[in-house]
Amino acid sequence: MKSIPLPPAEELSAAELIALDHRHIWHPFTPMSAWFEKEDPLIITHGQDEYLYDIQGREYIDGVSSLWCNIHGHRNPELDAAVIRQTHKVAHTTLLGACNVPSIQLAHLLAEIAPAGLEKVFYSDNGSTAVEIAIKMAFQYWRNIGRKEKTTFLSMSSAYHGDTLGAVSVGYVEAFHTIYRPICFPTLQAELPILPVFSPANSSIKTIVPYLDFTKWDNMIMQLLEENAHKIAGIIVEPVIQGAGGMRMQPYGTLTRLRKLCDQYEVLLICDEVMTGFGRTGSLFACDHEHQSPDFLCLSKGLTGGYMPLGATLTNQKIFVAFCGDPNAGKTFFHGHTFTGHPLACEVARTSLALLLREDLPARAMQIGQWLSEELAPLAGHPHVGDVRITGAVAGVELVQRRTPYTPFPWQRRVGGEICQRLRAHGVLLRPLGDVIVIMPPLTTGEDNIRHIGKSLRLVLEGFSFPATN
């Protein structure tokens, strides 16, 4: 038998680890040929609070919360303890025909804090599956109540709902989704109203200048629904902020309008809060800004404070009862994952939520937004900054070749990527979405570090030689 070497990671040098990474790891969303050419790939070895450390011992502020997940910083003692506590009981058991304690307690807490009426919790592993479940439930709901013609979905331009095929079907980020269209189900597409470019950077959605003229959008979406509502099962939307589509922020009032239209036209509303949930936007859920409740709420990323993979799809009693009745009537929701309701993940999620509430982190998010808007305000005058958008602790700085007429850089230039690469020398880790620089730090990040992110970005932009305008 072949002997397998198992040295602890620390014993491998950076060069050895990189060689093995290159040999074996296929990185997500990554052009791999370009990856091999990277001079200094980052190998993270540990973290503490809002900091991450690489194998050379360099310190970075985790400016994107380890892909929008981390809430309380790294190695939070209470979250660490929750994992260990549950490990000493049991790591995993199944929800198929059995219960476990943490999943029950977490569901109860989620139902308490979620928008009104969302008291049924269906667990899964990640954001994509949380969305898949909402789509399948919405589809089956109409079948179960005898409205078999309602089979399609309306989703939004620039939407991102995950990478499994159902989630890709309702996604519209051209660069990610176009290639898979032939193996997706067809959907209807609408535009969201977006805030005008050069909107004043604003940390508080409540004070965002109301979008003055919804008329055009109202007419567009009403016509779509007039013509198609009879066949639409649901509308899916990322409320308040569209994430991977470029941190595109909606004017106040959009969600209220969507909720009203859904009621009027008998269409279910699915809110994908995988990114916006758990305090990021300055309220516990983005839906709370407008006091609206969807029929489905999809959660993941921040659900465990970024500690473990866990997804949850919340729905209401109206949906749930349509799945009840004689087991032979074919109304059951036949869906589940091996790790549905994973006890370790649920225990850490419960602890994270308790901490989030105790520390009032949504208020911290507002404060972070305020600091960020102060630091980023001077960028409004930069010739290559097309827009600075801030809601709660989420900021997007959009870089453009020219402001007027509005001209993006050719994507092949990877300007956003280069800027983020340079920020590493300032001890700041950010990841762009194309040429939108995203800032989304853990909600416990201190003022000095928030300001340091903003100042560093300004410095890098000032010193950067942008591709010549032709």
Ligand X SMILES: *Cc1c(COP(=O)(O)O)cnc(C)c1O
Residues near ligand X, by CB under 6 A: 126-128, 131, 160-162, 238, 243-244, 272, 274-275, 300-301
Residue that has been written with the tokens 């994507």 in this structure: 411
In the complex, minimum distance from the CB of residue 67 to ligand X, in angstroms, rounded to a whole number: 8
Dist CA 195 CA 192 (whole Å): 10
Whether 148 contacts 116, CB under 8 Å: no
Residue nearest ligand X, Cβ-based: 127
Q: Is residue 136 within 8 Å of residue 142, measured between CB atoms? A: no
Helix (H, G, I), strand (E, B) or coil at 121: strand
Q: What does DSSP assign to residue 95?
A: S
**Least Å distance between CB 309 and ligand X?**
7
Residue length of the chain: 470
Q: How far is the CB of 237 from ligand X (least distance, A)?
A: 10
Q: Which residue has the tokens 């109203």?
A: 193
Quick count: other Cβ atoms within 10 Å of Cβ 21? 14
CB 125 → ligand X: shortest distance, Å? 8
Which token pair is 330?
A: 């074919």
As measured in angstroms, the least distance from the Cβ of 173 to ligand X is: 11
Can you read off the two tokens belonging to residue 114? Answer: 């979620």
27/108 with CB nearer ligand X: 27
Residue 89 CA to residue 344 CA, distance in Å, equals 9
* 3-class DSSP assignment, residue 451: helix
Confirm if 64 and 438 have CB atoms less than 8 A apart.
Answer: yes
Kindly state the smallest distance separating residue 99's Cβ from ligand X, in Å: 25
DSSP 44: E
Nearer to ligand X, 143 or 431 (CB): 431
CB 43 within 8 A of CB 17: yes
- Give the nearest distance from C-beta 416 to ligand X in angstroms: 18
Q: Give me the helix-helix angle, 415-423 and 447-463, nearest 10°.
A: 130
Residue 130 CB, nearest approach to ligand X (Å): 7
Of 307 and 371, CB closest to ligand X: 307
Contact partners, residue 82, CB within 8 Å, separation at least 6: 347, 348, 350, 351, 352
**CB of 282 or CB of 454, closer to ligand X:** 282
Residue 229 or 394: the one with the smaller Cβ distance to ligand X is 394
- Give whichever of 131 and 232 is closer to ligand X, judged by the CB atom: 131
Nearer Cβ to ligand X, position 365 or 379?
A: 365
Residue 238 or residue 347: which is nearer to ligand X going by CB? 238
Per-residue DSSP letter, 393: T
